[in-house]
Structure 1
């Protein structure tokens, strides 16, 4: 005669361990999936912000390619870059100051479905008629 229950006790222990493991996995997924989704969204937003800066730098190089151009020519040159909207052009004695907005929208597929990020930044670039280029200045965007 055997003491301790035999197969039914062993089966109960296996089922109890399986239920505990299933509960642990459920709690892990409940906590982990939103954190991973947020991390993926933040990564996409950082990439979008870097794209805004890269587009502004491309616009700067287009503007500085013709330092002796008139303000209308500089406006047209800035408008040729995708995602750039010229907000203001002001001509001085020996320089032209352009204020422009860069908008970028990115979508990405992930395990969690489609994610979207929009970013915008406003910049000012002074184009001098001399040989000294001015730095690109980041501004707060008007509403």
Structure 2
């Protein structure tokens, strides 16, 4: 990997996860044992991908991220705030307050609830309830 321009853009956890999975597939196809730094890189890639697979980014895709960004446009959030909303998927006003600077001064309670609903709707997959499971 080579960084051509380090100031181009920030990456979401989803984008990092996808690149790590691509790298793992590439390394599986490559022949020969991993030695030295390559083995250390393989460990870091594996552990990072393993961690990210347990976060909401595993269920995300470019379409749902695009929908969230479109829905959040009217709130005039900074790029960093949007990125953190996508990465951390806060679902409550308390969690949102940790991500959005001066949230209480910038937004009404109704707007905060709307943003929480946008996150819930587009980025979080509903977890199946035990009550909804089919009887066997």
User: Which has more helix, going by share of residues?
Assistant: 2
Shared fold (TM-score, shorter chain, > 0.5): no
TM-score between both structures, scaled by the size of structure 1? 0.23
Higher relative contact order (CA 8 A, sep 6+): 2
Structure exhibiting the larger radius of gyration computed from Cα positions: 1
